[in-house]
Amino acid sequence: MQEKTRTFLASFEKWLSYFFIIVMTAAVLLQFFSRLLGHPLAWGEEVARYSYVWLTFIGTAYVVMTKEHIQVNFFIFKLPRKAQRVILILEYILMILSVMYILPSAFHHSIEQWKNLSPAMELPTFFLYISFPLGMSLVVIRLLQLLISDARSIKQH
């Protein structure tokens, strides 16, 4: 079950990231050519910005899962293998607790943005702000998966 969830989320995050890259690129190109022709689009920059923000937070969960995020691990690699895994588990726990601490206020702030409209598209800015708590919720899921996986590997060794 856990492997199916991991595979589904990886595909979901990857394809959603691809979608936002395509939308962002298309919006920037449309904006560029429409300005070149003397008829700039009012909404092009806003679509590109929304896509970029969504890409950032959805992509964060994906790079956490693939362990491609920035890490300072020079000293950790000097430790024995079991100590490295223990520190990694403590790191996961600290990150989970940090994100869980922020999530309630992030969701609350996002909901408050429903009444504010974006200047060009006149959509509730909720759709921009909700990207952070949703992306960070995916990060928590990914961290929990890594935590379980690493804890099992410590038990086996």
Mean pLDDT across 132-139: 96
Q: What is the residue whose two structure tokens read 């959603």? A: 16
- Tell which wins on pLDDT, 72 or 23: 23
Looking at this protein, which amino acid is placed at residue 48? A
Per-residue pLDDT at 132 = 97
pLDDT at 101: 98
Q: What is the pLDDT of residue 157?
A: 63
Question: Residue 2 pLDDT > 80, yes or no?
Answer: no
pLDDT in tens, 100-128: 999 999 999 999 999 999 999 999 999 99
| pTM, to two decimals | 0.87
Q: How many CB atoms lie within 10 A of CB 98?
A: 12
Task: Please list the residues that pair with 117 across neighbouring strands.
Answer: 124
pLDDT averaged over every residue in the chain? 91
Q: Kindly report, residue by residue over 20-69, the tens digit of the pLDDT.
A: 999 999 999 999 999 999 999 999 999 999 999 999 999 999 899 888 87
Check if the beta carbon of residue 89 is closer than 8 Å to that of residue 147.
yes
Percent of the chain with pLDDT over 90: 68
